[in-house]
């Protein structure tokens, strides 16, 4: 195998409604369009060697930090591949960063995720109170339907931090502005995974807090938990130390994407 | 009134139009067109609620609903190669609808071609809309979100034309849902100047009578040129300040004879229910409306930039039509009859389109489409050229072909060069020699056995056979003949391979007599008969110890075919049934989990429509058929003769290789057969 590349990509705006399968089909096509020399498995129905690293953000959840690895048969310049692949994907599936794989497993580095949840129309005071109760609790048992059936698990322990803020949202042409709560949280990856909707379930259980409309969830980052900042660090840090190319773009302006 | 646009529309008229033989009576101009009673049910998007609303994206309102529905990705658009044009600078705006779910509608070639062609026109915009599933429909009704396009999420009612492509009649109820959600009155007669022109095309539009009340217009045949011509007529009319309103626009379209406007025709009935006459009800409207035929497919190499969906769809491949039309003359085949004559795309254009399409899409499968793809005059070179070109690239090629001969196997071998030889499909269609003569499927038992022997001995392990049940003159023995044939196929396979590891799958479809075919006069078999014959066939295969387990059987029960038969050969009176079914909740009739036979029968009873009269009744030669004023080019007398020949087991050859037998199409439509060979070869691509 000539080279292994690690890719960070985003799903934004209306493309957050893609499922994991949708993304993998789109990616395989984009690789062909971009003429990336992907390695194929042997056998009767060869498939491209692409592995998705970490738990994919669920359908309907936007993300600024999804990861995958590709094997290619010939050396590729990570920066050039990033641009070519990005241009071949539909807008909203955006390739942010590509590095040559260093030693060590990328999956092991994805220890936690930072999430942002927009709750348009929610009451900021109630949200703050609910977050306080959540943080004060030892354990919060939630239930969710998983592939293995209904499971009951603790949604509190994996949550490294959770805070509520207020965003004033002014709708164009309207005089009134509607309140909008922003929840930010860092959650350690665990089994079963504690997802943003589990935290929302927790908030409902501890404080009867329920948002009026469906929440807009975005994964902002994934990586090793940086104990100083309490947030995920760049998981490509180790690859970048001993490889060329691949610059992290400032991504925060894109968050949420637009149509 | 003659304008540049209407002149161009007129220019699309067949050059050598023949005298109209069916115009037995002189036109009696009448201006009292179809009267509309006000029986519209209330719904949240009644016409006036959208009045004066600026055309902005509905997406923010739709977005809030998407987390609550299945597969939301199908509603968001944003496909690779999709186009969003500026609304205000487009003079003519088309909403194109394939009236089925996105996963079925998106790959539709007709819609993709028109979408691309219209968007290439200056000051013209086309967007797509599909049927929404009941979960989203309920939310849209609750929240007052109207039917939207997936490109820019604009309300469908804001467009000038809503063009619907009907491959099958089973999309009719979905059309009603879309109209209703859009806030467009269901009945054409109730629409005002702010509503789009609702226009139908596609194969089902060759008899649009059952949906005549809901349509403003229909177009027969190839859509490329007529869509452009219609655009120009609409553009001129709008530029002039929309004189005379909707009525004048429809009149400008109808005058040409190239666009059918149902409201300008009256249908009179005999006391016994048969049609007495179909006649124009105002001066200037021609007695007959003709189909459109694109003669040079190389001039129309679409799609150039295939749409690449994010959602999973039924065909995940890039398809190139390698020819249109088919003159094999299978008597049951409406597609073959209404698309005559054969017009081939040249080998070089096919090669260029495949290359460009793969580059633009990233698809890893290419399909070479047509009604009988192995019949292209240079298919061998096309197959070899493409197989050479894409060898080792993980690009696979497919060629839907069901021809029963060794050549077909050679092609299949070429296309499966790198892959596994899994299954080959052949379509004898009829179970007995006599039955195959009736339907003009010129395949003998010997041909079939020889062909499958070759297939099995060349490494193919599975053979799929297509048949129909319920064909005219069919008897129990003809259907039981399918079992005998399948057993002989297995026996031949075992002998050829020396192994018992050969399989054969028999797929059976219910026959539905279709307009513009020699069987348009035939009695459809009732569903009890079809089910009884299928059961006998099943028992015969099940009970066979020697072969039974090597033969798989696939079929549907006969009931859906009856509904299809009602809609295929129905007249304007059937519209009330469609509407009643829709009002009762009928949606997605092409999906067995949504289709309800009982609902259709109840609705027919309520509307006073005798289903048997439309389906299982044989028609006489002189009965006026609901589509007699719609000209597919086929000579009615030739069709009748072919029907008589069918009953007498007389076969007819293919006019590509034998002299013309005067089906009527070429002289009527001013067309001719366009086939190769061109003698050119596909060049290998230079790798960049
Ligand atoms: S008119 Fe003659 S040549 Fe043309 S399609 Fe009919 S039979 Fe063939």
Q: Can you give the residue ranges of every domain in chain A?
A: 3-108+235-241, 111-232
Start-to-end C-alpha separation, chain A: 39
Residue B343, ligand 1, Cβ within 6 A = no
pLDDT at B51 > cutoff 60: no
How do A177-188 and A159-170 pair as beta strands? antiparallel
CATH at residue B190: 3.40.50.280
Q: Do A26 and B310 touch (CB under 8 A)?
A: yes
The pLDDT > 70 percentage for chain B reads 92
Expressed as residue numbers, the domain containing B641 is: 423-652
pLDDT at A4 > cutoff 90: yes
Residue B655, ligand 1, Cβ within 6 A = yes
Task: Give the model's pLDDT for residue A44.
Answer: 73
Report the alpha-carbon distance of residue B174 to residue B45 in Å, rounded.
17
How many CB pairs below 8 A link A and B?
Answer: 71
Q: Is residue B458 part of a domain?
A: yes
Of B218, B239, B270, which marks where a domain is finished?
Answer: B270
B656 CA closest ligand 1 atom index: 8
Phi-psi region of B312 (alpha: psi -120 to 50; beta: other; left: phi over 0): beta
Chain A nearest CA to B302, separation (Å):
19
Measured between beta carbons, the chain B residues lying within 8 angstroms of A45 are 419
b/e per residue, B188-220, with b = 16+ CB within 10 A? bebbeeebbbbbbbbbbbbbbbbbbbbbbbbbb
Q: Cβ-count burial of A163 within 10 angstroms (0-12 exposed, 13-18 middle, 19+ buried)? A: middle
Question: Chain B: which residues have CB within 8 Å of chain A?
Answer: 57, 59, 63-64, 66-68, 71-73, 75-80, 308, 310-312, 316, 358-364, 394, 419-420, 688
Q: Is residue B30 part of a domain?
A: no
Report the alpha-carbon distance of residue B58 to residue B77 in Å, rounded.
13
Q: Which of B56, B80, B363 to mutate to test the interface with A (most CBs of A within 10 A)?
A: B80
Report the alpha-carbon distance of residue B538 to residue B536 in Å, rounded.
5
pLDDT tens digits along B441-483 = 989 999 999 999 999 998 888 999 999 999 999 999 999 999 9
pLDDT at B337 > cutoff 80: yes
Average pLDDT, chain B: 91
pLDDT tens digits along B153-204 = 999 999 999 999 999 999 999 999 999 999 999 999 999 999 999 999 999 9
pLDDT at A110 > cutoff 80: yes
Q: Which of B66, B363, B688 sits opposite A29 (nearest CB)?
A: B363
pLDDT tens digits along B216-250 = 999 999 999 999 999 999 999 999 999 999 999 99
Of B255, B270, B285, which marks where a domain is finished?
Answer: B270
Q: Do A40 and B394 touch (CB under 8 A)?
A: yes
pLDDT at B408 > cutoff 70: yes
Q: Cα-Cα-Cα-Cα dihedral of B2, B5, B7, B9, to 10°?
A: -130
Nearest residue of chain B to residue A23 (CA atoms)? B310
Q: Are B595 and B568 in contact (CB under 8 A)?
A: no
Measured between beta carbons, the chain A residues lying within 8 angstroms of B151 are none
- Mean of pLDDT values over B7-33: 48
- Is the pTM for the entire model greater than 0.80? yes
Q: Do A90 and B78 touch (CB under 8 A)?
A: yes
Task: Give the model's pLDDT for residue B418.
Answer: 60
Residue B328, ligand 1, Cβ within 6 A = no
Residue B58, ligand 1, Cβ within 6 A = no
pLDDT tens digits along B574-586 = 999 999 999 999 9
Q: Is residue B135 part of a domain?
A: yes
Report the alpha-carbon distance of residue B445 to residue B460 in Å, rounded.
20
Q: Is residue B313 part of a domain?
A: no
More confident call, B397 vs A107: A107
pLDDT tens digits along B129-142 = 999 999 999 999 99
Hey, what CATH topology would domain A111-232 get?
A: Alpha-Beta Plaits (3.30.70)
Domain count of the fold of chain B:
2
Question: Hey, which of B291, B340, B635, B674 would you mutate to test ligand 1's pocket, going by the most ligand atoms within 8 Å of its Cβ?
Answer: B340
DSSP B650: -
How far away, in angstroms, is B472 Cα from ligand 1 center? 24
B664 CA closest ligand 1 atom index: 1
Task: Give the model's pLDDT for residue B17.
Answer: 41
How far away, in angstroms, is B662 Cα from ligand 1 center? 6
Q: Do B73 and A32 touch (CB under 8 A)?
A: no
pLDDT at B23 > cutoff 50: no
Task: Give the model's pLDDT for residue B413.
Answer: 86
Residue B329, ligand 1, Cβ within 6 A = no
pLDDT at A70 > cutoff 70: yes
pLDDT at B369 > cutoff 90: yes
Q: Do B359 and A33 touch (CB under 8 A)?
A: yes
Q: Is residue B663 part of a domain?
A: no
B663 CA closest ligand 1 atom index: 6
Q: Are B202 and B166 in contact (CB under 8 A)?
A: yes
Q: Is residue B312 part of a domain?
A: no
| H-helix segments, B339-432 | 347-361, 379-389, 406-415
Dihedral over Cα of B317, B319, B325, B326: its sign: negative
Measured between beta carbons, the chain B residues lying within 8 angstroms of A43 are none
Chain B nearest CA to A153, separation (Å):
24
Nearest residue of chain A to residue B84 (CA atoms)? A259
Dihedral over Cα of B242, B243, B247, B253: its sign: negative
Complex prediction ipTM: 0.85
- Mean of pLDDT values over B331-360: 96
Of B220, B244, B270, which marks where a domain is finished?
Answer: B270
Q: Are B255 and B146 in contact (CB under 8 A)?
A: no
- Same CATH fold assignment for domains A3-108+235-241 and A111-232: yes
Among candidate residues B235, B216, B160, B217, the one with its CA nearest the CA of residue B4: B235
pLDDT at B5 > cutoff 80: no
The residue nearest atom 8 of ligand 1, judged by CA position, is B655
Task: Give the model's pLDDT for residue B409.
Answer: 85
Measured between beta carbons, the chain A residues lying within 8 angstroms of B358 are 32
Task: List all residues 6 or more positions away from B478 whose beta carbon is below 8 Å from its beta carbon.
Answer: B430, B431, B432, B434, B435, B471
User: pLDDT band for position B29 (50/70/90)?
Assistant: very low
Output the CATH code of domain A3-108+235-241. Answer: 3.30.70.580
pLDDT tens digits along A136-178 = 999 999 999 888 889 999 999 999 999 999 986 555 444 446 7
Dihedral over Cα of B11, B17, B21, B22: its sign: negative
Nearest residue of chain A to residue B317 (CA atoms)? A29
Report the alpha-carbon distance of residue A23 to residue B311 in Å, rounded.
9
- Mean of pLDDT values over B640-652: 94
The residue nearest atom 2 of ligand 1, judged by CA position, is B660
Question: Chain A: which residues have CB within 8 Å of chain B?
Answer: 14-15, 17-19, 21-22, 25-26, 28-33, 35, 40, 44-46, 59-60, 88, 90-92, 213-214, 259
The residue nearest atom 4 of ligand 1, judged by CA position, is B666
Task: Give the model's pLDDT for residue B54.
Answer: 62
The 3 state secondary structure assigned to B501-544 is: CCEEEEEEEECCCCCCCHHHHCCCCCHHHHHHHHHHHHHHHHCC
How far away, in angstroms, is B342 Cα from ligand 1 center? 9
Q: Do A29 and B57 touch (CB under 8 A)?
A: no
Q: Do A17 and B66 touch (CB under 8 A)?
A: yes
Q: Are B217 and B257 in contact (CB under 8 A)?
A: no
pLDDT at B52 > cutoff 50: no
């Amino acid at each position: 195998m000539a080279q292994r590349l690690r890719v960070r990509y985003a799903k934004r705006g209306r493309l957050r409604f893609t499922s994991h399968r949708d993304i993998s089909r789109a990616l395989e096509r984009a690789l062909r369009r971009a003429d990336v020399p992907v390695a194929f498995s042997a056998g009767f129905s060869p498939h491209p060697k692409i592995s998705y690293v970490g738990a994919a953000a669920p359908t309907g959840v936007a993300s600024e930090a999804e990861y995958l690895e590709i094997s290619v048969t010939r050396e590729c310049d990570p920066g050039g591949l990033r641009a070519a692949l990005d241009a071949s994907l539909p807008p909203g599936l955006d390739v942010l960063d590509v590095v040559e794989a260093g030693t060590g497993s990328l999956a092991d580095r994805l220890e936690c995720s930072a999430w942002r949840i927009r709750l348009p129309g929610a009451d900021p005071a109630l949200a703050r109170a609910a977050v306080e109760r959540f943080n004060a609790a030892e354990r919060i048992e939630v239930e969710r339907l998983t592939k293995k059936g209904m499971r009951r698990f603790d949604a509190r322990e994996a949550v490294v931090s959770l805070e509520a803020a207020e965003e004033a949202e002014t709708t164009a042409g309207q005089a009134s502005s509607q309140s909008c709560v922003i929840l930010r949280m860092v959650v350690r990856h665990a089994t079963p995974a504690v997802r943003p909707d589990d935290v929302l379930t927790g908030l409902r259980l501890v404080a009867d807090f329920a948002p009026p409309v469906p929440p807009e969830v975005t994964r902002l980052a994934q990586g090793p938990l940086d104990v100083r900042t309490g947030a995920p660090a760049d998981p490509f840090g180790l690859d970048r130390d001993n490889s060329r190319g691949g610059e992290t773009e400032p991504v925060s302006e894109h968050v949420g994407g637009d149509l | 009134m003659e304008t540049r646009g209407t002149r161009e529309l007129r220019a699309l008229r067949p050059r050598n139009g023949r005298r109209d033989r069916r115009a037995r009576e002189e036109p009696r101009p009448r201006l009292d067109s179809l009267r509309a009673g006000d029986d519209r049910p209330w719904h949240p998007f009644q016409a006036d609620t959208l009045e004066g609303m600026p055309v902005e994206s509905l997406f923010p309102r739709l977005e809030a609903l998407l987390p609550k529905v299945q597969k939301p990705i199908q509603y968001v658009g944003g496909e690779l190669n999709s186009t969003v044009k500026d609304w205000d600078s487009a003079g003519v705006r088309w909403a194109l609808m394939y009236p089925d779910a996105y996963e079925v509608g998106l790959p539709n070639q007709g819609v993709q071609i028109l979408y691309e062609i219209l968007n290439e026109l200056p000051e013209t915009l086309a967007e797509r809309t599909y049927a929404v599933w009941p979960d989203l429909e309920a939310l849209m009704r609750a929240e007052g979100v109207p039917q939207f396009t997936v490109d820019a999420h604009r309300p469908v009612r804001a467009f000038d034309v809503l063009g619907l492509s009907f491959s099958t009649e089973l999309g009719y109820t979905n059309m009603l849902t879309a109209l209703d959600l859009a806030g467009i009155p269901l009945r054409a007669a109730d629409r005002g100047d702010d509503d789009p022109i609702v226009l139908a095309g596609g194969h089902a539009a060759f008899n649009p009578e059952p949906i005549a009340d809901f349509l403003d217009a229909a177009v027969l045949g190839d859509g490329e040129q007529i869509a452009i011509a219609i655009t120009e007529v609409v553009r001129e009319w709008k530029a002039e300040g929309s004189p005379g309103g909707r009525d004048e626009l429809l009149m400008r379209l109808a005058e040409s004879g190239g666009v059918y406007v149902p409201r300008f025709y009256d249908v009179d009935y005999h006391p016994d229910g048969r049609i007495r006459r179909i006649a124009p009800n105002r001066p200037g409207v021609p007695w007959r409306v003709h189909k459109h035929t694109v003669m040079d497919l190389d001039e129309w190499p679409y799609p150039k930039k295939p749409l690449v969906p994010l959602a999973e769809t039924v065909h995940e491949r890039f398809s190139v039509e390698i020819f249109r039309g088919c003159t094999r003359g299978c008597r049951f085949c409406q597609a073959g009859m209404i698309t005559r004559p054969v017009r081939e795309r040249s080998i070089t254009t096919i090669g260029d389109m495949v290359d460009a399409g793969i580059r633009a899409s990233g698809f890893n499968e290419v399909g070479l489409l047509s009604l009988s793809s192995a019949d292209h005059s240079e298919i061998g070179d096309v197959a070899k050229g493409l197989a050479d070109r894409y060898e080792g690239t993980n690009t696979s090629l497919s060629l839907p072909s069901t021809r029963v001969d060794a050549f077909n196997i050679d092609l299949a071998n070429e296309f499966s060069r790198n892959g596994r030889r899994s299954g080959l499909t052949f379509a004898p269609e009829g179970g007995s020699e006599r039955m195959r003569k009736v339907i003009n499927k010129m395949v003998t038992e010997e041909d079939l056995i020889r062909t499958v022997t070759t297939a099995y001995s060349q490494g193919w392990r599975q053979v799929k056979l297509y048949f129909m049940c319920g064909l005219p003159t069919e008897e129990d023995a003809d259907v039981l003949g399918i079992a005998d044939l399948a057993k002989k196929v297995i026996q031949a396979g075992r002998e050829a391979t020396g192994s018992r590891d050969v399989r054969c799958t028999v797929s059976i479809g219910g026959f539905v007599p279709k307009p513009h075919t020699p069987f348009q006069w035939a009695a459809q078999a009732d569903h009890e008969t079809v089910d009884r014959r299928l059961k006998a066939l099943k028992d015969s295969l099940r009970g066979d110890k020697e072969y039974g387990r090597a033969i798989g059987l696939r079929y549907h029960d006969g009931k859906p075919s009856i509904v299809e038969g009602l809609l295929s050969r129905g007249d304007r009176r059937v519209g009330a049934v469609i509407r009643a079914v829709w009002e009762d909740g009928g949606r997605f009739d092409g999906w067995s989990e949504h289709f309800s036979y009982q609902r259709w029968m109840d609705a027919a009873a309520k509307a006073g429509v005798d289903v048997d009269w439309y389906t299982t009744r044989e028609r006489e030669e002189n009965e006026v058929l609901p589509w007699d004023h719609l000209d597919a080019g086929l000579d009615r007398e030739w069709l009748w003769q072919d029907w008589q020949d069918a009953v007498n087991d007389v076969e007819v050859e293919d006019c590509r290789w034998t002299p013309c037998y005067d089906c009527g199409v070429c002289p009527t439509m001013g067309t001719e057969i366009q086939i190769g060979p061109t003698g050119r070869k596909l060049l290998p691509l230079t790798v960049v």
